[in-house]
Amino acid sequence: MNKMEELKRSIARTHELPTAVLEDFVAQWEIVSFPKGSVLSVPEKTDNYLYFTISGIQKAYYLVDGKQSIISFTQPNHFTCAPESFLTQTASKYYFECIVDSYFYRLSYRKFVQQTSKHKAIQDFLIKSLMGLVNNITERFIKQASFSIEEKYKDFMHGNAHLLNTVPHKDIASYLGMNPTNFSKLFNNVLID
């Protein structure tokens, strides 16, 4: 299956669009690539693009006393950007960086607005996507506030163990809200069933 088909399938998993609307929408995206370490979003600058990851892994983070505090990882077949910056056209509050060489479909804000104005079905897709994002953020917030470090580790490993060979362990520890030493102890001592 070509990657354009995967973009169409990802949209359809969220919201079924009429074929003509879907074709028009995906035709607006362009393919771009960025090498490892590329920073696509920075605080105080407005995000002008929505991305769909074809390949690669990225991280979103903010800095606290010069140290990265990781808030999310993005992976292939997922949409990504600094959504509050992109959707409101205000300055981003965090960084978005490629951990490895990454390929994306990219949609400009101008084309996004044209499509949402032209097709009500795209507006419906956006609302469903945002509802999913809010649910994910709420779930992560609850886990961060209520899970023990071992529970956070196990929960991460059940859905994201494949990231261990690509993402630096210090970044995973930051994402889980623990220091790298505790992450290392869990990694070496906790069996995942």
pLDDT in tens, 133-187: 888 888 988 998 999 999 999 999 998 999 999 999 999 999 999 999 999 999 9
CATH of region 3-117 = 2.60.120.10
pLDDT at 154: 93
- Distance between CA atoms of residues 30 and 76, nearest Å: 16
Please give the backbone phi and psi of residue 91, each rounded to the nearest 5 degrees, phi first. Answer: -65, 140
For residue 86, give the nearest of 27, 30, 26, 41 by alpha carbon: 41
- C-alpha–C-alpha distance, residues 189 and 107, integer Å: 44
What are residue 70's DSSP bridge partners? 61
Q: What whole-number distance in Å separates Cα of residue 102 and Cα of residue 55?
A: 5
The dihedral built from the CA positions of residue 174, 177, 179 and 184, taken in this order, carries a sign that is negative
Give the pairing type, strands 67-74 and 39-41. Answer: unpaired
| Token pair in block for residue 68 | 């990265």
Residues 175 and 75 sit within 8 Å (Cβ to Cβ): no
- pTM to 2 decimal places: 0.87
Long-range contacts of 162-169 (CB under 8 A, 24+ apart): 163/57, 163/73, 163/75, 166/57, 166/99, 166/100, 167/57, 167/59, 167/73, 167/99, 168/99
Q: Under a CB-based contact definition with an 8 Å cutoff, are residues 35 and 74 in contact?
A: no
pLDDT in tens, the chain (193 residues): 466 788 888 888 888 889 999 999 999 999 999 999 999 999 999 999 999 899 999 999 999 999 999 999 999 988 888 888 998 999 999 999 999 999 999 999 999 999 999 999 998 888 888 788 888 888 988 998 999 999 999 999 998 999 999 999 999 999 999 999 999 999 999 877 6
In sequence order, what are the residues at sequence separation of 6 or more whose Cβ sits closer than 8 angstroms to the Cβ of residue 102?
Answer: 33, 34, 36, 38, 53, 54, 55, 56, 57, 58
